[in-house]
Amino acid sequence: MSGTETFKVIRVIGNNVVMVQSIKKELEYVILGKGIGFGTKTGGTISADDPRIEKLFKLEDREQWSQYHHLLEDFDPKVLEITDEILNSITTEFPGKLNDKVYLALPSHIQFTIYRIRKGMDIINPFLEETKISFPKEYDIALKAAEMIGRAFDIKVPEDEVGFLTYHVYSAVSHVPVGQLVKASNMVGRLVSMIEQERGLEFKNGSMDYVRLLMHLRFSVDRILNHSVKVDNPFADQIKAKFTDEYELAKRLATVMETDLGRTIPEAEVCFLAMHLYRLFRGRTQDNTLNKEDN
């Protein structure tokens, strides 16, 4: 940003976080930087070329700004410090620009988590196993983040909460909203249940079949949510002709995905799913045959 830009300080949140308004553009921002708030007064100014500025971002709409404006007033400075450490660990593993919203969404989540733990409230994550399988690298970062939080606030962060922190890590990197990730995880669970009911199967958590199916569905969801990813399946016609039962099931699953994600599912994606289902069912049939022969 040009050094001629000047910001008027709206509120000093802490030593490292300041809310400002651009004098030139009349836009509101949050500035993060070590010591940026120290000695700064409301109504004062900060130059855009201030060397203390590490992060500067604005929210996309007034409704979101009003929501976080209130939250920022109540943030524990220690929570903001831990958030900064966690964000540094994310950028170490995933170089590049993070989702701007994580700078407020993550400390808000951490502060509420600390409150719940100290009040003895249960934290239950129905998507924990799916999360660990789908986002292993992000889960490792979240695990370390939970250890940081535990040490800083002298609490024990449960593993279920690590799963929720994983969503924030993934959201920061992928720019997919946390709420959409939760919705997608719930949908993936429903798709697995549909497949089990349709074929009278039961997938054991952690089994190879379960992991492969989960990963395929998760990657499919990621491709659908990421508009920049183009899907091409040169064998689509052959798949529809040869794997008719699997293709029909894949179309029913795609209908659920379209409803839940609000996105059109490309025909190529449906065919990829049909092919995966064929391999999955064929593999289980062969395994059952071998088990019968062994007995």
Rounded to an integer, the average pLDDT of 172-193 is 90
Nearest to 205 by CA among 276, 127, 147: 127
Residue 67 has pLDDT above 70, yes or no: no
Amino acid 173: pLDDT: 93
| Average confidence score pLDDT of the chain | 85
Q: What is the mean pLDDT of residues 286-292?
A: 46
Q: Whole-model pTM? A: 0.76
User: How many other C-beta atoms can be found within 10 angstroms of the C-beta atom of residue 88?
Assistant: 10
Of 65-74, 170-179, 233-242, the least confident:
65-74
Per-residue pLDDT tens digits for 83-113: 989 998 999 999 888 887 788 889 989 999 9
In tens, the pLDDT along 119-150 reads 999 999 999 999 999 999 999 999 999 999 99
User: Mean pLDDT, to the nearest integer, of 243-262?
Assistant: 93
